[in-house]
Structure 1
Amino acid sequence: MEFNGLMAGFYRISLLISRMAYVNILWLAFTLAGLVVFGFMPATVAMFSVVRQWIHKNADVEVFRFFWKTYKTEFLKSNALGAVLLVIGTLLYVNFQLVQAPAWWMMMLRYAFLVLSVFFAMILLFIFPTYAHFELKLVHYIRTALLVAMSYPHYVFAMGVGIYGLQELMLFAPGFIPFFAASCVGYLVMWLADKAFKKLRYMPGTRVRSTPVSNG
């Protein structure tokens, strides 16, 4: 059945809402299936990969099969990347806390760690879109995410503002959090990152992941 005009708009909106809720529930279920610690990274990578298909107009992708396939395939690699990010984040936090003395050289170190923390935050914003969009060696995901973020800082700013806005919206209506929080953030971040990726010229050592016609 085909809809026209206003009904077509309502249909597209309702379809998008149901898809966002579905992929959010999948993300939550598979994160818990991996005991959170081991499930968060592959589930988030899988969610971003599904959202990327939608952004690339591949609406016919079979969500559960594609999500599960990505989760299994990227389980070890994504968790290894998560471990690297955790180590980097922990080292930055610990060193930032240790540098508290009022000495001038301590203040310089503190500012240096603050700048590094900003770079790290930029990496975190782009790391999942980069993982979903490119096929890279493990260590190159961090480098590529940082290079893209630094090349297009206005998209980083837009991500930050968008995430803050979604956070305020979810706090205003907390009942939506289990159904839309992760998927809405994922869609926003992937949509903005995809715009940055389209502006990129060729980057040595990178290969864009293919967009399947179907998952049959």
Structure 2
Amino acid sequence: MDVQGVTGKLYTFSTWVYRLAYLNVLWLFFTVIGLGVFGIAPATVASFGVSRKWVKDKDESNIFLSFWQIYKQEFIKSNGIGFILFSVGFALYLNFQLTMMIDNIFMFTVIRVLFLISFFVYFLTVVFIFPVYVHFDLKVLQLLKQSFFIAIAAPLETIITLLLFSVVYFTLALIPGLIPFFGLSLFAFISTIVSLNAFSKLESRISGSSIEV
């Protein structure tokens, strides 16, 4: 048995466990100091930004410093995105509740179909919104459109992301004690890996696009 090889792999594994746990603690801390509602969006963007540094740039420098720089730099813009996502999500929720009160079968069907289409667009946009945010320098509306476009243009990566998210979700549901340490960071890390692969493929397929990797 190659003891040194096994030891090296264990060291690498433990290092990544530490990084992800530390990143999640930072996410929780900065969400709280941002009073929750104003902290969650920039803290999430910062988490994805740090994950991108790890995966794409192989940057393993000071995690706290990297997180803090992204957090304060993107505080206003990320809160704008967060407000839009929350508002649209809440509107969809209200729409869903209101459709349950409609007695007319035709109207119920029409509104429910419109709701499902809207939810589909919203859901796919949310899947890639944060990886796209930290990877491209886009304005808010461009960011929303690009996120949906990538989700549609890279269906394999979208499916893989959703499957991996499901695995992580059910794992955390089975072991709730892991949530404070990996509740967001693991999602961010997985999403970053898959998204960067999608961006790379799209770059090679789309010449002269507004996407620049």
TM-score scaled to structure 1, two decimals?
A: 0.89
**Structure 2, unaligned runs of 5 or more:** none
CA RMSD across the alignment? 1.7
Q: Deviations over 1:151-194 (max 9, x none)?
A: 11222222222112112111222211101121111111111111
* 2:20 matched residue in structure 1: 20
State the structure with bigger RCO (CA 8 A, min sep 6), 1 or 2.
Answer: 1
Aligned-pair identity in percent equals: 34
Equivalent residue, structure 2, for 1:95: 95
The count of corresponding residues between Structure 1 and Structure 2 is 206
Q: What corresponds to 1:190 in structure 2?
A: 192
Preserved CA contact (<8 Å) 1:48 1:132: yes
Report the AA paired with residue 91 of structure 1: A
- Aligned partner letter, 1:95: N
Q: CA deviation at 1:204?
A: 4.2
Other-structure match for 1:55: 55
1:113-140 per-residue CA deviation (whole Å, 9 max, x = no partner) reads 1111011111111000010111111111
Cα distance in 1 for partners of 2:159, 2:118 equals: 17
- Counting only pairs closer than 5 Å after superposition, residues 3-42 of structure 1 correspond to structure 2 as 4-42=4-42
In structure 2, give the amino acid aligned to 1:154: L
Q: Which moved more, 1:97-106 or 1:10-19?
A: 97-106
| CA–CA separation in structure 2 for the residues paired with 1:161 and 1:64 | 30
Instruction: Give 1:140's aligned amino acid.
Output: Q
Q: What does residue 127 of structure 2 align with?
A: 125
Which range moved further: 152-161 or 110-119? 152-161
Q: How does 1:135-214 map to 2 (within 5 A)?
A: 135-200=137-202, 201-202=206-207, 204-208=209-213
Q: Does the Cα contact within 8 Å between 1:53 and 1:61 map onto a contact in 2?
A: no
CA contact (8 A) 1:23 1:183 kept: yes
Q: Distance in 1 between matches of 2:119 and 2:7?
A: 47
Give the equivalent residue in structure 2 for 1:64: 64
Q: Does 1:80 align with 2:80?
A: yes
Moved more, 192-201 or 99-108: 99-108
**AA at the equivalent of 2:135:** H
In structure 1, runs of 5+ residues without a counterpart are 209-216
1:79-135 per-position Cα deviation (integer Å, ceiling 9, x unaligned):
011111122222222223323423314312211211110111111110000101111
